[in-house]
Amino acid sequence: MQAQTQRHIFLDGVRTYYDKNTPRFARSHQSSVANAIHREVWGPGVQSEKEAFEYVNSLVMRSITAIAGSFPSPMRVLDLGCGVGGTLFYLAAQMPIDGVGITLSPVGVRLAENLAQETGLVAQCRFLEADYLELPNVGARYAVYAIESFLHAPDADRFFRSATSVIPRGGRLIVCDDFLTEGAAASTDRKDRCNLADFRRGWHVGTLITTRQAEIQAENAGMRLIDDQNLTPYLRLRRPCDRLIATLVNLGRGLPFRSPWWDSWVGGHAIQRCLLTGLIEYHFLVFEKVLD
């Protein structure tokens, strides 16, 4: 009972974080060019900021296309932690999908539904306010993905078991997120610990594990890892805006205030330091369901 109460308290914090921050992200953040609330990835062939914010979407698309012939159309996809729906809209514009987006944030659901209306994609994309650890009835989903939302899971084992419960054999689970490096997991350096603590606190991180630990958790849920791409080299770190945020965070660190927007700055600054010092890497993982 205590563990369940703590989980609900943690998830309430995640919900508040996104309820307060999502309108600002959708209105003014650079990623709004792609209706995304995730990082830009300047991978091979990327020519513009919009393409950088859609690079992970393109990897999701490629992975889903690879199994499209094994399942009936439309492709039934599930977005765990969908933000304002950008990845679903990207997929729906290029292939027939029956898409469902799950988010804790009622504000996110409202914004995503408005965008679906504006883009004419209501028939292909619907959005639900729910906890992805306790999925509502969404039926079988041939492809499930979580982009920068896995780390909000307070229970990694439960995340994999919940996600895979709706995936038939041969279907795929995609996780794109930050993972601890093996060196970070063993580090006792005080600065390393402080940076990781700021990251966890600022971005409401419930799960921060290595890719190997994630692979083991997925195997326990009937999945096998078939692709692991380290996208860290394609991130642009220490941009002018990142340097400004670093200055503000360092100046305000001792002040007695906290807000969801401030949390995003503290967490963003901390992850920059974690990526630059090799504590964390940004990976794109693809799992295939092998057991029913």
Give the contacts of 146 (CB within 8 A, at least 6 positions apart): 79, 80, 81, 132, 159, 163, 174, 175, 176, 177
Asked whether residue 124 is domain-assigned, the answer is yes
Domain that holds residue 58: 2-181+205-236+280-289
> Greatest CA separation found in the chain?
57
Asked whether residue 110 is domain-assigned, the answer is yes
Asked whether residue 79 is domain-assigned, the answer is yes
pLDDT of residue 253: 74
pTM: 0.94
Average pLDDT value over all residues in the chain: 92
Asked whether residue 121 is domain-assigned, the answer is yes
Q: Mean of the pLDDT values across residues 22-37?
A: 72
CATH of the domain at 160: 3.40.50.150
Q: Mean of the pLDDT values across residues 257-276?
A: 85
Give the contacts of 196 (CB within 8 A, at least 6 positions apart): 184, 208, 270, 274, 279
pLDDT band at 184 (very low <50, low <70, confident <90, very high): confident
Provide the residue type at 145 as one letter: Y
Asked whether residue 222 is domain-assigned, the answer is yes
Asked whether residue 125 is domain-assigned, the answer is yes
Calculate what percentage of the chain has a pLDDT beyond 70.
96
pLDDT of residue 29: 59
Spatial distance between the Cα atoms of 282 and 176, rounded to a whole number of angstroms: 7
Find the distance separating the first CA and the last CA of the chain, reported in whole Å.
30
pLDDT of residue 142: 98
Is 90 exceeded by the pLDDT of residue 183? no
Asked whether residue 196 is domain-assigned, the answer is no
Given strand 172-180, what is the order of strands in its sheet? Answer: 125-129, 97-103, 75-80, 143-147, 172-180, 280-289, 223-230
**Residue 290 near residue 167, CB atoms below 8 Å:** no
pLDDT band at 31 (very low <50, low <70, confident <90, very high): low
Asked whether residue 64 is domain-assigned, the answer is yes
Total domain count, the chain: 1
Paired tokens of 97: 């999908």
- 84-126 pLDDT tens trace: 999 999 999 999 999 999 999 999 999 999 999 999 999 999 9
Paired tokens of 200: 């966890």
Is 90 exceeded by the pLDDT of residue 78? yes
